[in-house]
């Protein structure tokens, strides 16, 4: 195949319990910006300075954007940071559940759970 059918990751979608509360949490605690919202359609788009958009879907279903590998819950979303220790301290301060925080040799890895039960990951690679 000479030409790729897919060119980039446009956006990622995750479930949330309350759209407005989730928008507020991701904007105020994680630094996202709201770029679009449809209360009638039960979704919103959030952005960071770089990377694909994050689409939030409000649902009453019991679900989350995580998966299990060898009995360990894993995040679907993994973000890059240059301030992992400060981010860890901030998440603790606001009461977020931190499930993993460790120097893995190639860099520091942090996993935490948001207000909707979605697991997030952050990584600060060694330079």
119 and 73 in a single domain? The answer is yes
84 and 102 in a single domain? The answer is yes
Q: Where are the alpha helices (DSSP H) in the chain?
A: 19-30, 84-93
- The proportion of the chain whose per-residue pLDDT surpasses 70, expressed as a percent, equals 98
Q: Give the sign of the dihedral formed by CA 45, CA 21, CA 17, CA 97.
A: positive
pTM of the model: 0.90
In a domain, 1, yes or no: no
70 and 120 in a single domain? The answer is yes
- What CATH number should be reported for the domain holding residue 98? 3.10.180.10
**Length, in residues, of the chain:** 127
From 22, 42, 58, the end of a domain falls on 58
Q: Give the model confidence (pLDDT) of 21-31 as tens digits.
A: 999 999 999 99
Number of domains making up the chain: 2
- Residue 19 sits in which domain range? 11-58
**All residues at 6 or more sequence positions from 103 whose CB lies less than 8 Å from its CB, including other chains:** none
Our measurement of the distance from residue 9's CA atom to the centroid of its chain's CA atoms, rounded to an integer in Å, reads 15
Name beta bridge partners: 102. Answer: 109
Q: Give the model confidence (pLDDT) of 32-41 as tens digits.
A: 999 999 989 9
Query: What pLDDT does residue 3 have?
Result: 82
In a domain, 3, yes or no: no
Query: What pLDDT does residue 2 have?
Result: 63
């Amino acid at each position: 195949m000479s030409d790729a059918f897919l060119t980039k990751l446009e956006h990622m979608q995750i479930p949330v319990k309350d759209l407005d509360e989730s928008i507020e949490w991701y904007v105020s605690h994680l630094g996202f910006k709201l770029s679009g919202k449809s209360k009638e359609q039960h979704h919103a788009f959030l952005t960071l300075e770089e990377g694909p958009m994050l689409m939030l879907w409000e649902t009453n279903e019991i679900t989350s954007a995580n998966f299990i590998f060898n009995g360990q819950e894993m995040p679907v979303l993994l973000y890059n940071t240059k301030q992992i220790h400060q981010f860890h301290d901030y998440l603790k301060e606001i009461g977020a559940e931190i499930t993993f925080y460790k120097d893995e040799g190639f860099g520091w890895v942090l996993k935490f759970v948001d207000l909707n039960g979605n697991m997030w990951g952050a990584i600060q690679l060694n330079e």
